[in-house]
């Protein structure tokens, strides 16, 4: 179990070990949790992915897996423990050939949004070591619920803990910086022609190594910021060196320059607070911006955001620490993205998009799926704030009235039934969002009915 803080290089270590074990034909399975990827932010896909990769590793167990699924097609809808027993443990136990020790790499436990399910999953996996020679490498930040899981009496005696901060990463960081700074010099020979070589000097390089505090997220963000082409690299380096050590001042520096681009605040707020990521084309539709405007708004963030060149892919932070920074007022200060304000902003755009679509065609389409399914989610988060009513009165009233005026009652009814998957009026709906949507419709009709 590797316990370490954001940016210390845990994912790089996990990927490297997984690649080496795969090369040595010892990797049975690898899974990398990610809160920015809908199918990797929860445990739902874990066991099916495990079974699939294990079947490739051990072709001899494929028949047993197929028979298990044929006998009980509902396995993947059952409890995690039953899924693991029927698709992983039992097929391996009945193997007659010798089984060599197998390595399983699971990165980013802290990126899983289902705390209870994750705790259960970890306990089940560790119990597997009693039955077959599985060896698990887990990596995570030391979140309380994860520490609690590994410190339980039944788990702790089976686990070995490593903290990356206990290892001196200075040599690796020094090599990383020197290599990437040399690449900047080669890439910009005209801009760097009069700069004394070597650049940076050995003294400056040591200052940067000290400022990094062993965090690879710091040095990767630093070289990205200095070499992004927006300004003279030597001047940007001096600005960074004058800042305090740590990644927060570097984020502050990057975001301070990024703010000058039009629509930056609204785009970065949507990326952070959307319920799940949208690709560039969908994000542009929601915010009523061209995809090129989305990219322009984020031009100053190339060192901290992965910005795709195609509209069918989503923008994502290079590291989860950026989201943590932007949503913490004490750390981010003027860059802080207020939860209520940005959820309110997204809600307004959802209502606008639905109103425009219903006015033009009278019904929704696939491109509007996010707005239809999630506007009430954003509304509910706004309502949790103590200033919610004042914000609703000042920002939402006109939008709601406009929305209702553009929607005939018959289309509103069709939309609600479609969202909730109602068969008849009064059908009990299991979807909380649909229930909330019905409540909102009643509220809007009662509050703004006289506007029709």
pLDDT at 69 over 60: yes
Question: 155 — alpha (psi -120 to 50), left (phi > 0) or beta?
Answer: alpha
Mean pLDDT of 151-176: 81
Lowest mean pLDDT among 45-59, 158-172, 176-190, 379-393: 379-393
Same domain, 316 and 350: no
Same domain, 142 and 230: no
Mean pLDDT of 85-94: 88
196-226 pLDDT, tens digit each:
889 999 999 998 988 887 778 788 888 988 9
pLDDT at 275 over 80: yes
In this prediction, residue 451 carries a pLDDT of 35
Q: Which of 108, 132, 166 is the last residue of a domain?
A: 166
Tokens 């990383």, located at residue: 176
Looking at every residue in the chain, the average pLDDT score rounds to 80
In this prediction, residue 358 carries a pLDDT of 66
Does 435 map to a domain? yes
Same domain, 103 and 127: yes
Same domain, 10 and 158: yes
Mean pLDDT of 305-318: 89
Same domain, 282 and 355: no
Same domain, 142 and 17: yes
Contact present, 346 and 397 (Cβ < 8 Å): no
Give me the CATH number covering residue 295. Answer: 1.10.10
Q: How confident is the model at residue 427 (pLDDT cuts 50, 70, 90)?
A: very low
In this prediction, residue 419 carries a pLDDT of 52
The residue among 442 and 283 whose pLDDT is bigger is 283
19-38 pLDDT, tens digit each:
999 999 899 899 998 876 76
Crossing angle of helices 369-383 and 432-448, in 10° steps, is 70
Q: Cα(first)–Cα(last) distance of the chain, in Å?
A: 62
Does 139 map to a domain? yes
Does 253 map to a domain? no
Same domain, 326 and 201: no
Reading the block at residue 300, the tokens are 């100053």
According to the 3-state scheme, what is the secondary structure of the chain?
Answer: CEECCCCCCHHHHHHHHHHHHHHCCCEEEEEECCCCCHHHCCCCCHHHHHHHHHHHHCHHHHHHHHHHHHHCCCHHHCCHHHHHHHHHHHHHHCCCCCCCCEEEEEECHHHCCCHHHHHHHHHHHHHHCCCCCEEEEEEECCCHHHHHHHCCHHHHCCCCCECHHHCCCHHHHHHHHHHHHHHHHHHCCCCCCCCCCCCCCHHHHHHHHHHHCCCHHHHHHHHHHHCCCCCCHHHHHHHHHHCCCCHHHHHHHHHHHHCCCCCHHHHHHHHHHCCCCCEHHHHHHHHCCCHHHHHHHCHHHCCCEECCCCCCCECEECCHHHHHHHCCHHHHHHHCCCHHHHHHHHHHHHHHHHHHHHHHHCCCCHHHHHHHHHHHHHHHHHHCCCCHHHHHHHHHHHHHHHHHHCCCHHHHHHHHHHHHCCCCCCCCCCCHHHHHHHHHHHHHHHHHHHHC
**pTM: predicted TM-score of the whole model, two decimal places:** 0.60
Mean pLDDT of 262-289: 93
pLDDT at 247 over 70: yes
Q: Which of 313, 335, 357 is the last residue of a domain?
A: 335
Mean pLDDT of 344-348: 87
34 Cβ neighbours under 8 A, 6+ residues apart? 40, 41, 108, 111
Same domain, 43 and 59: yes
Lowest mean pLDDT among 32-36, 178-182, 184-188, 296-300: 32-36
Q: How confident is the model at residue 271 (pLDDT cuts 50, 70, 90)?
A: very high
Does 310 map to a domain? yes
369-385 pLDDT, tens digit each:
888 888 888 888 887 77
Angstrom distance (rounded) from CA 120 to CA 407: 46
Residue (of 128, 139, 43, 49) closest to 85 by Cα position: 128
In this prediction, residue 297 carries a pLDDT of 94
Same domain, 105 and 212: no
Q: How confident is the model at residue 423 (pLDDT cuts 50, 70, 90)?
A: very low
Same domain, 228 and 345: no
Reading the block at residue 153, the tokens are 């009496």
Does 256 map to a domain? no
Number of domains the chain contains: 4
Does 320 map to a domain? yes
Mean pLDDT of 420-433: 41
Does 343 map to a domain? yes
Tokens 């193997």, located at residue: 95
Q: How confident is the model at residue 333 (pLDDT cuts 50, 70, 90)?
A: very high
Rg (CA), the chain: 26
pLDDT at 416 over 60: no
Same domain, 161 and 186: no
Q: Which of 317, 335, 353 is the last residue of a domain?
A: 335
Does 250 map to a domain? no
pLDDT at 445 over 50: no
- Domain around 436: 339-451
Same domain, 146 and 179: no
Lowest mean pLDDT among 98-102, 117-121, 135-139, 429-433: 429-433
In this prediction, residue 280 carries a pLDDT of 94
């Amino acid at each position: 179990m590797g316990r370490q803080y954001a940016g210390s290089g845990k994912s790089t270590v996990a990927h490297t070990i997984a690649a080496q074990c795969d090369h040595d034909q010892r990797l049975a399975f690898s899974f990398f949790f990610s809160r920015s990827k809908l199918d990797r932010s929860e445990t739902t896909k874990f066991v099916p992915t495990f079974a699939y990769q294990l079947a490739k590793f051990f072709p001899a167990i494929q028949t047993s897996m197929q028979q298990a699924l044929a006998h009980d097609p509902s396995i993947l809808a059952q409890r995690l423990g039953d899924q693991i027993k029927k698709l992983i443990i039992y097929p391996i136990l009945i193997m007659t050939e010798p089984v060599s020790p197998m390595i399983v790499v699971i990165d980013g436990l802290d990126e899983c949004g289902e705390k209870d399910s994750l705790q259960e999953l970890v306990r089940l996996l560790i119990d597997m070591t009693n039955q077959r020679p599985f060896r698990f490498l887990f990596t995570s930040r030391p979140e309380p619920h994860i520490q609690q899981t590994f410190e339980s009496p039944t788990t702790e005696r089976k686990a070995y803990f490593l903290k990356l901060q206990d290892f001196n990463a200075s040599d690796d960081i020094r090599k990383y910086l020197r290599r990437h700074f040399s690449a900047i010099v080669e890439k910009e020979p005209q801009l760097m022609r009069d700069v004394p070589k070597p650049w940076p000097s050995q003294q400056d390089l040591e200052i940067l190594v000290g400022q990094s505090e062993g965090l690879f997220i710091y040095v990767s963000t630093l070289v990205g910021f200095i070499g992004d082409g927006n300004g003279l690299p030597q001047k940007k380096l001096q600005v960074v060196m004058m800042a305090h050590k740590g990644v927060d001042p570097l984020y502050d520096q990057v975001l301070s320059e990024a703010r000058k681009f039009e629509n930056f605040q609204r785009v970065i707020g949507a990326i952070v607070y959307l319920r799940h990521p949208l690709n560039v084309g969908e994000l542009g539709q929601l915010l009523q911006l061209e995809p090129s405007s989305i990219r322009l708004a984020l031009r100053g963030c190339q060192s901290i955001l992965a910005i795709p060149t195609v509209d069918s892919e989503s923008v994502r932070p290079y590291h989860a620490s950026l989201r943590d920074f932007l949503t913490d007022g004490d750390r981010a200060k003027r860059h802080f993205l207020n939860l209520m304000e940005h959820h309110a902003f997204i809600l307004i755009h959802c209502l606008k998009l639905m109103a425009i679509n219903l006015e033009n065609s009278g019904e929704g389409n696939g491109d509007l799926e996010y707005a239809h399914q999630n506007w009430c989610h954003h509304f509910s988060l706004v309502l949790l704030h103590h200033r919610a009513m004042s914000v609703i009165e000042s920002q939402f009233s006109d939008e709601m009235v406009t929305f209702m005026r553009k929607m005939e009652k018959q289309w509103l009814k069709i939309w609600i039934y479609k969202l909730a998957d109602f068969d008849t009026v009064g059908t009990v709906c299991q979807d909380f969002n649909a229930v909330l949507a019905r409540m909102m419709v009643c509220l809007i009709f009662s509050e703004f009915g006289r506007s029709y």
